[in-house]
Amino acid sequence: MNTPKGISILVAMIVALAMTLPNAYAQDNTQETQISFDQPVEIPGQVLPVGSYWFVLANNDFDRNIVRIYSADRSRVFATVQTEPTSRRSSDFETTFNLVDRPGRPSTLVNWFYTGESTGHEFVYSRSEERELARDMQRPISPREESQGYLGGE
């Protein structure tokens, strides 16, 4: 009589495990990342004021190049922007946001790499804006840079 009870417990454990796996996958699938900026930051189409934001991939299996930027409490969508895949050569696979410092303008967000990923998301700007950005040097922002505030993932 212990065998049916043991099988029931085993089945219940397998079902519980199966229910938790999709949730863990969903977080990695959307690459949810929270970051705080201590200065205004330009993104395609607007400037984000000083504050904390969530960067999240739109949950779209057909197009993994749409990023939504939410307020810290996720009550407001600041932007939904198009990106293109980009690669990084670094063996340091921390979450990284690359900004370009621009004279007389806010720093401009160029790309975002999620923790553990060598392929990231390059933000799409107009051609004239991209030419200007190409002239400036990129500066990586990582969790080690205290001056940029908190950078968290997942």
17-54 tens-digit pLDDT: 444 433 333 357 889 999 999 999 999 999 999 999 99
* Model confidence pLDDT, tens digit, residues 61-95: 677 789 999 999 999 999 999 999 999 887 667 89
pLDDT confidence tier of residue 101, bands split at 50, 70 and 90: confident
pLDDT above 90: percentage of residues in the chain: 42
Are residues 129 and 98 part of one domain? yes
C-alpha 112/C-alpha 79 separation (Å) is 15
Same domain? 63 vs 106: yes
Instruction: Please tell me the distance from the alpha carbon of residue 77 to that of residue 142, in angstroms, as a whole number.
Output: 24
Verify that 44 and 73 share a domain, yes or no. yes
Q: Are residues 50 and 66 in the same domain?
A: yes
Residue 3 burial (C-beta neighbours within 10 Å; 0-12, 13-18, 19+): exposed
Residues 44 and 55 in one domain: yes
The total of structural domains in the chain comes to 2
Kindly state whether residues 85 and 130 are assigned to the same domain: yes
In 15-116, which ranges are E strands?
33-37, 41-43, 46-48, 51-57, 66-71, 77-87, 96-100, 107-113
CB atoms within 10 A of CB 109: 24
Are residue 129 and residue 104 in the same domain, yes or no?
yes
| Cα 66 from Cα 81, distance rounded (Å) | 6
Q: 70 and 146 share a domain?
A: yes
Q: Which domain holds residue 106?
A: 31-153
Q: Are residues 35 and 85 in the same domain?
A: yes
Residue 76 per-residue DSSP state: -
Mean pLDDT for 112-134 is 88
In this structure, the answer to whether residues 20 and 92 fall within a common structural domain is no
In a shared domain, residues 1 and 65: no
* CA atoms within a 13 Å half-sphere pointing along the CA-CB vector of 67: 26
Q: Worst-scoring range by mean pLDDT, 7-21, 63-77, 88-102, 104-118? A: 7-21
Same domain, 127 and 138: yes
